[in-house]
Structure 1
């Protein structure tokens, strides 16, 4: 069963995605379609992901996330980063924090294409939860919010909701989330 969103949320997402065509690339496009942007190019073209883009650049992960993939990226918005304690983002963007920043960012990436429908199936098959192994090596737990949405829980018990799903790019899928997930 494909997850559905309440009408008001779906309408708001549709309006937001129309305003951000780079992330709303056609799902019918294939990897062979080089006109379709990669994950990094799509994020760069999306103003609400500018903090994530700055972090990816500071961690020297641009080349990796422009690679062949496929990757599934759970992309925190600027508002998600703003929810972190004061000074956290600035601290992570410092050169001496590069390893910590890399760990946080790669904790938001899963190898392969994990779209919302397959994740919902994994949740159902897992008795209400699915475990995703991140590129960082940690795990995320995915559950349903009971209204067709997906909630991710990190190793520290923090949560983030998928607010825009299945944004297909040349080298993977982006799911926009409303929180920053933290590894152990």
Structure 2
């Protein structure tokens, strides 16, 4: 069993323990994604390099490039990134996504910065902060200046954005040399 699988299993166990719930079997897609990410990150690079090495993040990598944030996210950090998959970006109308990546890169940059937190916040730390915060949820300040609210829902970390949208963390603690990536299933919107 490789280190990534152990890390994911540990994080899931901690999250479920904090909620007092029983462990559920991981979904096949989540297990496959975690295994693929573990293989892709055997030699850990920066957050950008890790994302470039995983085909599930090709839209994110293109968006980071279009917004001119590649150099920043390759910097010293550390950063915690809630990284939307291609399927998460697929929930945005294609015309809107095209507009953001070609003509409105400033707004795109603001959206992407809303997914980044200063520091290296692993799943265990986040889960504990949510538990300590209680029913109101844990407030996360992003580098873009906005806030997210994190709650535990049925043993999963769910992030609520400023627009009221929710995104579930589907994989955690993907290591990078300048931080950590947590995979999410929906793009978060600052407003």
Normalising to structure 1: TM-score of the pair?
0.87
Aligned residue number for residue 13 of structure 1: 30
Give every structure 1 segment of 4 or more consecutive aligned residues whose post-TM-superposition deviation is greater than 4 Å: none
Aligned residue number for residue 2 of structure 1: 14
Instruction: For residue 124 of structure 1, report the CA deviation from its aligned partner.
Output: 1.0
Aligned-partner Cα distance in 1 for 2:66–2:93: 19
- Aligned positions, number: 171
Instruction: For residue 3 of structure 1, report the CA deviation from its aligned partner.
Output: 1.0
Matched, 1:103 2:121: no
Aligned residue number for residue 175 of structure 2: 168
Whether the aligned pair in 2 keeps the contact of 1:110 and 1:133 (CA below 8 Å) is: yes
Aligned residue number for residue 5 of structure 2: none
- 1:129-174 deviation digits (Å, cap 9, x = unpaired): 100000000000000012x210000000001000011111110010
- 1:3-152 to 2 correspondences below 5 Å: 3-4=15-16, 6-9=24-27, 12-20=29-37, 21-23=39-41, 25=42, 35-94=43-102, 96-128=103-135, 129-146=137-154, 148-152=155-159
Aligned-partner Cα distance in 2 for 1:160–1:130: 15
Instruction: For residue 51 of structure 1, report the CA deviation from its aligned partner.
Output: 0.3
- 1:37-65 deviation digits (Å, cap 9, x = unpaired): 11000100110110000000001111100
Of 160, 178, 188, the residue aligned with 1:181 is: 188
Whether the aligned pair in 2 keeps the contact of 1:22 and 1:37 (CA below 8 Å) is: no
Aligned-partner Cα distance in 1 for 2:56–2:86: 6
Q: Which runs of 5+ in 1 are unaligned?
A: 26-34
What root-mean-square deviation, in Å, do the aligned CA atoms of Structure 1 and Structure 2 show?
1.5
Aligned-partner Cα distance in 2 for 1:6–1:51: 30
Normalising to structure 2: TM-score of the pair?
0.84
